[in-house]
Amino acid sequence: MFVVISYDITDNKRRTKIHNILKSYGQWVQYSIFECDLTDTQYAKLRHRLSKFLKDDSDSIRFYFLGQCCQGKIERIGGEKPPDNTIFFA
């Protein structure tokens, strides 16, 4: 499954931990946004790992699931770097 994950975390230390976890599962595309191509098992593990770092009501992580028909319609303009397709699972 292709998932776009965005996060808004108030604490710098927790935000860094979440960013590092997400880096091991997908491609960092903007400051708080990752694109991940995951199996159901990988998604479940990732969601569980991330949920440990949510501490208050102001923190949030959102998961947007895109089907294959939508993946081909992703458009990027301006300042993009080539994607780093290296994925390391922790």
| pLDDT value, residue 71 | 58
* pLDDT (tens digit per residue) in 21-54: 999 999 998 889 999 999 999 999 999 999 988 8
User: Which amino acid, one-letter code, is at 72?
Assistant: G
Cα–Cα distances in Å, from 76 out to 7, 31, 61, 83? Answer: 20, 15, 22, 12
pTM: 0.77
Say if strands 2-8 and 27-30 run parallel, antiparallel, or are unpaired: unpaired
| pLDDT value, residue 53 | 87
Phi, psi for 87 (deg, rounded to 5): -125, 130
Binding site listing: 8
* pLDDT (tens digit per residue) in 62-72: 999 987 766 56
So where are the chain's domains?
Answer: 2-71
Binding site listing for Mg(2+): 8
- CATH class of the domain whose range is 2-71: alpha beta
